[in-house]
Amino acid sequence: MKKLFFALLCVLLTAGFAAAVDVDLKGMYEARGSYINNSDGLGTDDDSGSWDYFYFDHELDLTARLLVTDKTRVIVNFEIRDENWLAGNTDGSAENRDTGMDDNIEFKRVFSSHTFDAYGTALDLGLMTGGAWMTGFADNANGRYRVKVTQPTEFGPVIGIYEKNAELGATSGVKDGEKDDYNAYYLAMVTKLGSFNIYPLLGYLDNSAAVLDQGSDGENGLLFDFGVSATFGDIGFEAEAQIQDWDSDVTDDYTLWGAYGNVWWNIGAGKIGLLGAYGNWDEDAEKGFGFGEDFTPTMFITDWTGFGGTVDPGDVRAEYKSVALIQLYGSLALSEELSIYANGAYFSSTTDEDPDGSDNFWKDADGYEIDAGLDWKLTDQVTYSILAAFGEISLDGDGKDENGGDPDSFARV
């Protein structure tokens, strides 16, 4: 089926001009090799957990904008073989027919957009990016089915969104499938106040799918996100804060909140900056505020593994959760082709005791990470990069007991 979709897209792209459709095709190909030492940052030599290995991965990411008119377009984003390089036969041989490796094409976004002449209203329909706002803080940008309306005003665009996160549909024995769906509603705008760019967003999340019983409300939440940014000469900053208040039939009611700030100074060909972030921990519900998988100030923690939040370290996504973080960073362009950069971060868990009084795995845990790298621009289209990341996690309480001591240092190159 994926081959058929790809073939149809290729036909559409090649026949676009004959059908009076302009096609804007852009994309990126990346190939990467990584050496990993102490894969989750928690291993020790005593339990043979501090293991290391080397691997390659690559991806081709393409976005086609089918411009029917200057007011109407269809956007298609897809990836081809976004994966690790695997050994063996991967072309649909008898040994691998069930893996689908020869059909490794994923259409991640497909939606239409039309702008109405009368009021400049833009209507977007389909599978588009959601779970992201302003900076990467607290973002988990993924495909979401949405109806999105953007209305330009003299104060800036006002955005209304209806989002479908879970759809029960028509199911045998279920009288009203809507009672067990997960729908979200957002109202947001982007405006300016003097030199400050302002980004407020308000959301209501009706997650009835959290309890499939046709009766309870599951989880209902109010979300408020507020961001601001500004530039004053060579100095710039951005900040974002988010609060989530949840009524839950799954756990105790809980409130999660987090804040992020980043200030930098451009000094000639260089840049130096300081950022900080904080996420709370709700002890009763055993939930922590996550910085999101798109917030990657460090390249081992978050870009490879996670830190904090849950009792079981195996549940950690590649993000910081219930953490206080501070980082100093800088970069310098040595020439038009060569630039270098480095950062140092310290992070500590804000996790507290569990409801039964026992220590959470991450309680009082902290750590540090140092990253350094360079970018070599071969041409306007080709860049070679190298990065080294090194750090260590220190545990206390139940975490140290389970691991038999503090973990060894971790590294990635």
Q: Is the pLDDT reported for residue 12 higher than 60? A: no
| Strand partners for 30 | 59
Supply the pLDDT for residue 83.
Answer: 87
What's the whole-model pTM score? 0.88
- With cut-offs at 50, 70 and 90, classify the pLDDT of residue 404: low
In the block, tokens 């795995």 appear at 361
Query: What residues contact residue 382 under an 8 Å CB cut-off, 6+ apart?
Result: none
The answer to whether 279 and 321 are in contact (CB under 8 A) is: yes
Give the Cα separation of 255 and 185 in Å (integer): 19
Assign 358 to helix, strand or coil: coil
- With cut-offs at 50, 70 and 90, classify the pLDDT of residue 285: confident
Q: Is the pLDDT reported for residue 219 higher than 80? A: yes
Q: Is the pLDDT reported for residue 264 higher than 90? A: yes
Supply the pLDDT for residue 103.
Answer: 66
Give residue 322's identity as a one-letter amino acid code. S
Give the Cα separation of 217 and 234 in Å (integer): 50
In percent, the amount of the chain with pLDDT more than 70 equals 81
Supply the pLDDT for residue 17.
Answer: 45
In percent, the amount of the chain with pLDDT more than 90 equals 65
Q: Is the pLDDT reported for residue 209 higher than 80? A: no
Q: Which of 16-25, 30-39, 159-168, 245-254 has the lowest mean pLDDT?
A: 16-25
Supply the pLDDT for residue 360.
Answer: 78
Render pLDDT for 69-101 as a digit per residue (tens, 0 to 9): 999 999 999 999 888 887 655 565 545 445 555
Query: What residues contact residue 132 under an 8 Å CB cut-off, 6+ apart?
Result: 139, 140, 141, 294
Across the chain, what does the average pLDDT equal?
A: 87
Q: Is the pLDDT reported for residue 317 higher than 70? A: yes
Q: Which of 47-56, 228-237, 372-381 has the lowest mean pLDDT?
A: 47-56
Q: Is the pLDDT reported for residue 368 higher than 70? A: yes
177: Cα separation from own chain's centroid: 30
The answer to whether 255 and 245 are in contact (CB under 8 A) is: yes
Supply the pLDDT for residue 401.
Answer: 59
Q: E-strand spans in 208-359?
A: 219-232, 235-248, 254-267, 270-279, 281-282, 287-288, 323-333, 338-349
How many C-beta atoms surround the C-beta of residue 50 within 10 A?
Answer: 19
- With cut-offs at 50, 70 and 90, classify the pLDDT of residue 242: very high
Q: Is the pLDDT reported for residue 171 higher than 70? A: no
Give the Cα separation of 284 and 294 in Å (integer): 27
Among 324, 392, 322, 362, which Cα is nearest to 37's?
A: 392
Cα-only R_g, the chain: 24
Q: Is the pLDDT reported for residue 16 higher than 50? A: no
- Angle at 38 (CA atoms; ends 32, 39), nearest 5 degrees: 55
